[in-house]
Structure 1
Amino acid sequence: MDKKGEKIRVGIIYSAESILFLLAATLLGMGFREIGFTETNVVLLYILAVFITASLTRGYLWGILSSVAATLTFNYFFTKPYHSLQFYDAGYMVTFAVMTVVALVTSALTSREKENAKKALERERQTQALYLLTSHLTEAKELSDAAETAVSVISDLLDCRAACLCYDETGEPEKTFLQRTEEGKLVRRRLENGKEVKKRLENLRDPFYVGEEFYDWPVYGGEGILGVVRIPGERAEAFEETQKIFLHSMLECVALAMDRILAVRKQVRSRQQIQQERYRGNLLRAISHDLRTPLSGIMGTSEMIMDMSKKEDPRFDLAEGIHKDAIWLHSLVENILSLTRLQEGRMVIKKQPEAVEEIVGGAIAQMAGRSPGREIQVEVPEEVLMVPMDARLIMQVLINLLDNAVKHTPPEAEIKITVKKDLAGEKAVFCVADRGEGIAPEDLPNIFQTFYTSRIKPVDAQKGIGLGLTICESIVSQHGGRMEAGNRTDGPGAEFQFTLPLTDTCPVDKETEETDGTIS
């Protein structure tokens, strides 16, 4: 039945009730008159009829109409001349006025109490419904469970075939959505034009979107839209404002439940990642410790063979190759140990004012043992430049940068270290430049990432697994400085630049450190 037909049916029922009560009051009034009761008692009968009519009908209209009809009926049957709306006694005018006012006030008060009672019952029902929804959502472990609960409860409370569409972890709508059928079952329906649904909801200015089949209410979470509650259009169109407010309250409960589920899921993943990182760090540290001792023996033995052999002896070349590879492996082991310390927060920064010339000289001296015959140009200020730093760690940064420059620069080409103050005189600027092939533009954004190596050069072109620059960037960052990489503007080659504050503004709160040796 449509709305118009429903209104007509209700109007007929209310009209019949009003006429019935007025007829009963009239018949009783006639009986009172025969017995000899005064007209005041008859007036009370009509007021009672108005009261009962207002109690059984909705709104103020029927109470007002019943009040006017009661006054006219009393005048017609109980004032002279009878069966006429005229009256001879002027005092009846006061009686009619008082009767009408009393009837109207009684009707209004009754209707108001009915409305208040109805609103109270509605609020109680909504409160119970929200409690039911919240209690069921608390038990949900997955987004699909929350969607099933939301569809079932909303469908029951709003008398509709509600549906729910969830978004995945990437913020995209799922391929299907859940809907309640007429038989009360939950079915999966395929979503058409998911991208269009997402776009129109992202640009939504109103509380809901009016579609061809559904009215879509977005479920907003802390990081955006988590899902969509869909109400069939013919039912949503008939919603009253109170029902829309009630639906909004239920959507907030659903959003809180979905946010909780996603937060738990992220927490579990984070815990798993932390555990995996711990296992990986322990494995790398164990392997590195086990490799240290044999590598030291190999390095020492190869040096002895080189000292005992002449350069034209084939054994000298073999021993030299073994020695270089052992040095590279030893450096790799130290880098792995340094990485695990940095990631686990066990790298101690012991800052003391150090002369820049000494740190640069120590790094070049170590590189001379690794790459004899390689010339490195140095430019430092004429005055002694003292910088608060951990000398051992900053020397490791310079060694890693120089080692990287040696790998990518031809033997006859230039490698240069420059140290100077910045324009503000607040930082020391270190720069290591080479004349290699430079850094590919696609490598620049990722060059300081762990285990990242160039995608341009062949895998076996140079030895390295992408740890040196990561460690350098971490050490400089813990000193309160900043590291950058780029290509030279005066010709081919790359340059790595980092800064260190000239005043100790980066307090160190690390307390423990492994005592398994220094980084070399």
Structure 2
Amino acid sequence: MIQKHQLKTVLLHFILVLALLFTAAGIGFLLRGFGLPEANIVIVFFLAVLLITLLISSYVFAILASVLAAFLFNYLFTEPYFSFAVNAPSYMVTLFIMSIAALLTSMVTFHAKKNERNAKEREQESRALYALTNLLTEAKTYAEIAEMAADTISKSVCTGAACLCFDDDGKPDSNYVQCLPGQVLHRETEDTNSLLERLSELDKGYVVGPEFCDWPIYAEDSILGLIRLPKENAQRLSAAQVRILRSMIESTALAMDRFSASAQQIRLHEETVQERYRVNLLRAISHDLRTPLAGMIGTSEMLLGMTNADDPRRQLMEGISKDAGWLHSLVENILSLTRLQDGRLTIQKEREAAEEILGGAARYVMRHHPGYDIEVHAPEELFLVPMDAKLISQALINLLENAVKHTDPPGDICVSVEEDKMNQAAVFTVRDHGSGIGGADLPHIFELFYTSHAKEADSRKGVGLGLAICETIVKAHGGSIFARNRTDVPGAEFVFSLPLEVEDNE
């Protein structure tokens, strides 16, 4: 179809050239009949060549018209007439000058017309982009952006244009919008797997499908959608139309990317507000619980001291004291977490004796859990580690209480510290002899509010704060923490390291 169309156009242009030249010849005979000199006839042929150049935008036809005009003038209006022979040498000069002048005139006219056409194309491109940009600034959803882009491209470049959006995971939506004259269609997307496969083999500006030529809309590092042009119309686009299409696709990509960034910013703001409300609520509740819990702990301890070991009420008071201590520890963890997340808890590092920190944490846990015996291992020589003693003690207590929760008494719990001279770090380790960490739990063990399901706990089941606080404290010190299962016996071990600063800040 394309070859037949081009052949028809060439024939029409050739007929036009012959018609104008023969018309110029007829006017020449008329002028010679009036006795006018041959210079006037030459001007008529110049005019014919100029008209041909204006009507036909082609170098080939401009040159052809110039040559045919020279030969036709020679054949009809120079002696001997109706012959290509030339009697007077001056005619040869006249014909040569006429050919050169006609050729130069046609070339200048052709360039002027080409510049005019390019200017109009640029103006059309600017108008189309301006209209599309104005529309896209008013779009409030991805669907509106897609419909506006498809409608503008359909009117300016290719009738029947469509736009298919992709989600955040790079998958095509189930429907796309197509704009036809007088109507907007919402069509179901064809097989997405074959569509993605064609896009993966993209080796030029677009991919050809059964119905459409698909032009991808790219963001900086992802695909946002497709501009879909009917295949038959898309393959007839001129270079100027392709240039306009690419510019419109870039404008659409900017609008989609801007909308995506704005939506993400709104989501982040909402999450920040929700997090602030949550932290404020936790802080308020925790502060309100501290005072009555302190009273409960003090009263229960006083009553325990006043009760004999064989008193049946002693077991109840021990339960009250233990539960109140657990609640008090939970409240302290919540308050520490809120202060850490708000950045209000500053890290004040001083060189502390590591064995004293370990011993203090172990004694605290054994006092609250008398059925357990915790082993402490530290270097024989004094080992000073830059740390905030209060925060690191809290982290160790949380790790030890986590070990107690997952280990049956008397248990086999060990806490140790050693120097890693190669990495210039102090390595703390807490080991238990429990059921270990499940494979599904291990990647999430330090997440906020995540609790392990490896062992069903009692009424004082954790709420997933202790390990999250440990990670926050260690990272605030510039260290790292991880968990793993023991290889020698059943159980788990938690390891965190703190950097040993070379310079003395004291």
Same-fold call, TM cutoff 0.5: yes
Structure-2 separation of matches of 1:301 and 1:238: 90
Give the Å deviation of 1:346.
1.5
1:349–1:390 Cα contact (<8 Å) kept: yes
Structure-1 separation of matches of 2:200 and 2:456: 45
SS in structure 2 at match of 1:314: coil
Structure-1 separation of matches of 2:403 and 2:372: 11
Shift in alpha-carbon separation, 1:338–1:26, aligned structure 2, 3 A: same
1:356–1:387 Cα contact (<8 Å) kept: yes
Structure-1 separation of matches of 2:166 and 2:357: 55
What does the per-residue CA deviation read over 1:406-446, in whole Å, with 9 as the maximum and x for residues that have no partner? 22222222211111111427111111111111111221111
Q: Does 1:163 align with 2:162?
A: yes
1:146–1:257 Cα contact (<8 Å) kept: yes
SS in structure 2 at match of 1:206: coil
Structure-2 separation of matches of 1:105 and 1:222: 49
Q: Which amino acid aligns with 1:128?
A: R
- Show the 5 A alignment for 1:5-404: 6-7=5-6, 10-11=9-10, 13-181=12-180, 183-404=181-402
Give the Å deviation of 1:489.
1.9
Shift in alpha-carbon separation, 1:416–1:102, aligned structure 2, 3 A: same
Shift in alpha-carbon separation, 1:213–1:425, aligned structure 2, 3 A: closer
Structure-1 separation of matches of 2:3 and 2:486: 82
Give the Å deviation of 1:202.
3.4
1:299–1:326 Cα contact (<8 Å) kept: yes
Structure-1 separation of matches of 2:458 and 2:380: 42
Shift in alpha-carbon separation, 1:11–1:170, aligned structure 2, 3 A: closer
Match of 1:405 among 399, 403, 407: 403
Structure 2 counterpart of 1:516? none
What does the per-residue CA deviation read over 1:34-63, in whole Å, with 9 as the maximum and x for residues that have no partner? 444332232222112211221122212322
What does the per-residue CA deviation read over 1:295-346, in whole Å, with 9 as the maximum and x for residues that have no partner? 0111111111111101110111110000000000000001111111122211
What does the per-residue CA deviation read over 1:446-483, in whole Å, with 9 as the maximum and x for residues that have no partner? 10011111133336476211110110111011111111
Structure-2 separation of matches of 1:345 and 1:387: 23
Match of 1:483 among 475, 481, 484: 481
Give the Å deviation of 1:398.
1.0
Question: Equivalent pairs: percent with the same residue?
Answer: 48
2:207–2:214 Cα contact (<8 Å) kept: yes
Q: Which amino acid aligns with 2:21?
A: L
Structure-2 separation of matches of 1:458 and 1:200: 51
Q: Does 1:447 align with 2:445?
A: yes
1:219–1:255 Cα contact (<8 Å) kept: yes
Q: Unpaired segments of 5 or more residues in structure 1?
A: 508-520
> So what's the TM-score if we normalise by structure 2?
0.95
2:217–2:249 Cα contact (<8 Å) kept: yes
Shift in alpha-carbon separation, 1:203–1:317, aligned structure 2, 3 A: farther
SS in structure 1 at match of 2:168: coil
2:434–2:492 Cα contact (<8 Å) kept: yes
Give the Å deviation of 1:220.
0.6
What does the per-residue CA deviation read over 1:183-209, in whole Å, with 9 as the maximum and x for residues that have no partner? 331110011212331233234232211
Comparing 146-155 and 438-447, the one that deviates more: 438-447
Structure 2 counterpart of 1:415? 413
Comparing 477-486 and 189-198, the one that deviates more: 189-198
> So what's the TM-score if we normalise by structure 1?
0.92
Shift in alpha-carbon separation, 1:200–1:459, aligned structure 2, 3 A: farther
Structure-1 separation of matches of 2:196 and 2:504: 46
What does the per-residue CA deviation read over 1:331-369, in whole Å, with 9 as the maximum and x for residues that have no partner? 000111111112221111111111112212221232232
Comparing 421-430 and 171-180, the one that deviates more: 421-430
Shift in alpha-carbon separation, 1:365–1:456, aligned structure 2, 3 A: closer
Shift in alpha-carbon separation, 1:66–1:200, aligned structure 2, 3 A: closer
Structure-2 separation of matches of 1:11 and 1:409: 92
Q: Which amino acid aligns with 2:103?
A: L
Q: Which amino acid aligns with 1:63?
A: A
Comparing 369-378 and 160-169, the one that deviates more: 369-378
Structure-1 separation of matches of 2:220 and 2:333: 40
SS in structure 1 at match of 2:313: helix
Give the Å deviation of 1:4.
5.0
